């Protein structure tokens, strides 16, 4: 997906008009329409503003990943990353265990 397609999809999911998104980032709805049709490429500053308004990562917005990470999830990951190495391993070990258990439960449910 292109950056324009991601902008349009996210904007529509959040029930925002092009004009409303434009207003929130300090531009016009016409410019948002041009971004969505891939007629114009937003600057990095505008991409940051759009990502903030739509509450997604810049990587998702520009098509580098298909994983949508909301701001709350990103904050959690930042918090984990800031932990001392032993604490980080402890938290990640528990996450790994929970993912494994969830997958096993799902597999046995079939």
Could you read off the pLDDT of 41-72 as tens digits, one per residue?
999 999 999 999 998 889 888 888 777 777 78
Confidence of residue 81 (pLDDT cuts 50, 70, 90): very high
Q: What is the pLDDT at residue 21?
A: 97
Could you read off the pLDDT of 31-41 as tens digits, one per residue?
999 999 999 99
Contacts of 50 (CB under 8 A, 6+ apart): 7, 21, 25, 35, 42, 61
Q: List the domains of the chain with CATH numbers.
A: 3-61 (1.10.260.40), 71-109 (no CATH)
pLDDT above 90: residue 15: yes
Q: Which of 70, 73, 36, 41 is nearest to 53 (CA)?
A: 70
Q: What is the pLDDT at residue 84?
A: 96
């Amino acid at each position: 997906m292109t950056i324009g397609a991601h902008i349009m999809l996210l904007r529509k999911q959040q029930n925002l008009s092009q004009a409303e998104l434009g207003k929130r980032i300090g531009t016009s709805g016409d410019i948002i329409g041009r971004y969505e049709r891939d007629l114009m490429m937003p600057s990095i500053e505008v991409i940051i503003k759009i990502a903030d308004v739509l509450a997604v990562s810049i990587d998702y917005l520009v098509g580098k990943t298909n994983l949508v990470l909301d701001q709350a999830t990103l904050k959690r990951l930042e918090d984990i990353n800031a932990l001392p190495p032993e604490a980080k391993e402890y938290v990640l070990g528990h996450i790994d265990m929970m993912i494994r258990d969830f997958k096993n439960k799902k597999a046995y449910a079939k």
